[in-house]
Amino acid sequence: MSLTLRVLLVIFAVIVFYFVIRKLKKAQIQVLDSLFWLLFSTSFVLLGIFPEIAVCISGLLGFISASNFVFLYVIAVLVVRDFANSVRLAKQEERLNSLVQSIALKSFKDVN
Q: If pLDDT is split at 50, 70 and 90, which confidence band does 89 have?
A: very high
Backbone φ and ψ for 2, nearest 5 degrees, come out as -70, 155
Answer yes or no: are the C-beta atoms of 13 and 44 closer than 8 Å: yes
Q: What is the pLDDT of residues 47-67, one digit of tens each?
A: 999 999 999 999 999 999 998
CA 66 to chain centre: 22
- Of the candidates 49, 50, 48, 44, the one whose C-alpha atom is nearest the C-alpha of residue 73 is 44
Read off the amino acid at residue 33.
Answer: D
What's the pTM value of the predicted model, to 2 decimals?
0.79
**Average per-residue pLDDT in the chain?**
92
Backbone φ and ψ for 63, nearest 5 degrees, come out as -75, 145
Q: Could you give the C-alpha distances from 46 to 30, 52, 70, in angstroms and in order? A: 24, 10, 12
Per-residue pLDDT, 11: 93
Read off the amino acid at residue 66.
Answer: A
Per cent of the chain over pLDDT 90 is 79
